[in-house]
Amino acid sequence: FDREGIAVTKSDEEFRKLGVRAAMKELKISKVTLLRMVLTIKNQIHRRLLEYPPSSPLKKVLPLLHRHARLYVLSTNKRDNIEKYLAQYGMIGYFEEIVEDHSYFGKSSGLSRIQLDHHIDPRDMFYIGDESRDVDAARKAGCHSVAVLWGYEGKKPLRARNPDYIFRHPQELLKLI
C-alpha cells in the first residue's frame, strides 16, 4: 500500500491475530484510508476469486446443513461474483438467496432484511462469519453469532467479541443442527 503511504511490515498471519480494528490502530490509518485499501483488495479478489476453491471440509458440510436449514449468503462481494464462484465449485443449489451488503462496519441491516423478507425469527438465525464485525452484526440483529477460525481474523480478536459459538473446523457447524 505504498500509494497510501502505509508500510505494512507484519505478516498476514500476524494481522489475522490482531483483527481489523487493532490493525487500523497499529498502522495508524483512518476509516477512509481503510475503505480505499479494502476497495483495492476487493478488486484484486474479484479478479482472482475463482482461483481459490473452498475448503474440502466445508464442501462436505454444506449439503448436510442445507438438508436441515435454510442457508443464505450475506456478503460485501457482488452477487454475480458469488454466483459464479458457487456455480464453479458446485455449491449454488445450497443457498436460498445471496444478499449484497456494502456497509463495511456492520452487516446488521442485511441480517435484519433477511429476517424480514423471509419471516425468520432472529432467535432461530445463526450468522456465521470470520470477522469481529460479523459477531457484532449478529448481536445487533438479535441472532446467534458463530465465529469461524478458518477465515480472515484469528482466534484472539474473534474471542474478544464474545460470539455465541466459535468453531475451528467446518465440521463443527453441524453442532448447530
Q: What is the pLDDT of residue 106?
A: 64
68 band by pLDDT with thresholds 50, 70 and 90 = very high
Mean pLDDT of the chain: 84
Q: Tell me: the pLDDT tens digits for 25-38? A: 777 777 777 667 76
pLDDT band for 18, please (50, 70, 90 cuts).
low
Is residue 42 pLDDT above 90, yes or no? no
pLDDT of residue 56: 85
Q: Which residue has the higher pLDDT, 62 or 41?
A: 62
5, with CB counted inside 10 A (0-12, 13-18, 19+), is: exposed
Name the residue with cell 498502522: 27
Contact in structure between 127 and 101 (CB atoms under 8 Å):
no
Q: Is the pLDDT of residue 148 over 60?
A: yes
Going by C-beta distance under 8 Å and a sequence separation of 6 or more, which residues neighbour residue 67? Answer: none
Q: Contacts from 37-43 at CB under 8 Å and sequence distance 24+? A: 37/1, 37/4, 37/6, 38/104, 40/1, 42/76, 42/77
Query: CB-side exposure of 109: number of CA atoms within 13 Å?
Result: 8
Residue 114: how many other CB atoms lie within 10 Å: 24
3-state secondary structure of 171: helix
Return the residue matching grid coordinates 474473534.
158
Give dist(CA 151, CA 172) in Å, integer. 14
Span 142-156, average pLDDT:
91
pLDDT (mean) for 13-34: 66
